Amino acid sequence: MSVTDTTAPVLTMTRTGQANSAGDSSALMLKVYAGEVLTAFEQASVTMDKHVMRSISSGISVQFPLVWKTGATEYAYINGSGNTGTTGIELDGTIIHKNEKVISIDGLLIADHFVNNLDEAMSHFEVRSIYAKEAGIALGTQWDQNVLQQGLLGARSSTLITGGNGGTVLTNSSYGTSGVTLGSGLFDAAEQLDENNVPENDRYMYVRPAQYYLMAETTDLINRDWGGAGVYSEGEVMKVAGIHIVKTNNLPITNIAGAQVSTHDVNATTTKALVMHKSAVATVKLLNLAVETEYQIKNQGWIIVAKYAMGHGFIRPEGCVEFKTS
């Protein structure tokens, strides 16, 4: 006769992925993964805090109102004190031209990965963390490219409102090879922005590393005796003509055509730099960056999806200046 020991202790398992020891055993792991995606996304994007952001909870587009400036006229009249003018003039109003720019949501941008259980177990490093970083970089890179492509389209656009100003394209065959020429072009761009009444703050130049270091080698641009802002020993140039310099590989330099979202298509084969004011381009956000995960029994692994739904468009072309070689 066998006797069962009913007093034996019951094994209590601690699930490291559970929140407060309850619910989904991978909940905390997913939050860590999502946090890593967001961190990599923010690090990969250089335009996130340098353009207009608008969030919506529903719908497919946002209308940005455009209003041109008005004028002022002197109204004189005779008041018996010797002033000259015309009596009996009625004020009938001055026309203020208006328009709107509609930015639609592009669709759902996705970076997805599948992590096989066996592969993960056999790996000598943490696979999902690396996948999270790559997903964030992919989404952040695409974000920047869309924003900068819209900046180029804005520079090539005519005015969006009667009486307003369009974008500006500066052409010089030496923009790709001469830091001095790029520096001179920045003063030309600043002058054009001033003439377009674009605010002096929040102006940025986006440039590829090759052109960035051409400027960093140009001592005139970083000479502190001349008010330059940069460090030659570090290869840094921070500001020229009041314009902050941003180094990025995300500035388009190829012919982008036939993309999934055709409104971002632009031929940038001769583009070398882009100057934009913060108000020049806008992003409309419907779904913020999020991460979803699901274990697939039939495939014995995890499918992990990072995604967002946003749209991008230029709203002030007068705040965009493209540098191109031809």
- Asked whether the beta carbons of 4 and 10 are under 8 A apart, the reply is no
With 0.75 as the threshold, say if the pTM is over it. Answer: yes
- Asked whether the beta carbons of 140 and 40 are under 8 A apart, the reply is yes
Mean pLDDT value across residues 179-203: 95
Lowest average pLDDT, out of 27-41, 58-72, 149-163, 280-294, goes to 27-41
Cα separations in angstroms, 9 against 3, 5, 12, 154: 16, 10, 9, 71
- Asked whether the beta carbons of 314 and 150 are under 8 A apart, the reply is yes
- Asked whether the beta carbons of 178 and 217 are under 8 A apart, the reply is no
Instruction: Assign a CATH topology to domain 27-65+99-324.
Output: phage-related protein like fold (3.90.1690)
**Dihedral sign for Cα atoms in the order 206, 212, 218, 220:** positive
DSSP alpha helices (H): ranges in the chain?
Answer: 27-44, 117-122, 127-155, 179-195, 209-216, 219-222
User: Per DSSP, what are the bridge partners of residue 256?
Assistant: 266
Whole-angstrom distance, CA of residue 227 vs CA of residue 221: 8
- Asked whether the beta carbons of 215 and 179 are under 8 A apart, the reply is yes
Length of the chain: 326
- Asked whether the beta carbons of 308 and 109 are under 8 A apart, the reply is yes
Whole-angstrom distance, CA of residue 152 vs CA of residue 274: 7
Does the structure show a pLDDT above 90 at 20? no
Whole-angstrom distance, CA of residue 239 vs CA of residue 244: 4
Give the H/E segment covering residue 110: strand 108-116
From the list 112, 209, 103, the residue with the least C-alpha distance to 146 is 103
User: What digits encode the pLDDT tens for the residues 82-101?
Assistant: 555 555 556 666 777 778 88
Tell me, what's the pLDDT at 87?
Answer: 55
Tell me, what's the pLDDT at 130?
Answer: 76
Q: Please report, as a single letter, which amino acid is at residue 223.
A: N
Does the structure show a pLDDT above 80 at 6? no
User: What digits encode the pLDDT tens for the residues 114-130?
Assistant: 888 887 777 666 777 77
Instruction: Provide the token pair at 40.
Output: 């990599």
User: What digits encode the pLDDT tens for the residues 252-277?
Assistant: 999 998 767 788 999 999 999 999 99
Whole-angstrom distance, CA of residue 306 vs CA of residue 295: 15
User: What digits encode the pLDDT tens for the residues 211-261?
Assistant: 999 988 887 776 554 445 555 445 566 888 899 999 999 999 999 987 677
1: three-class secondary structure by DSSP? coil
Whole-angstrom distance, CA of residue 244 vs CA of residue 225: 19
From the list 301, 289, 259, 242, the residue with the least C-alpha distance to 120 is 301
310: three-class secondary structure by DSSP? strand
Whole-angstrom distance, CA of residue 97 vs CA of residue 67: 6
- Asked whether the beta carbons of 45 and 38 are under 8 A apart, the reply is no
User: Per DSSP, what are the bridge partners of residue 282?
Assistant: 52, 313
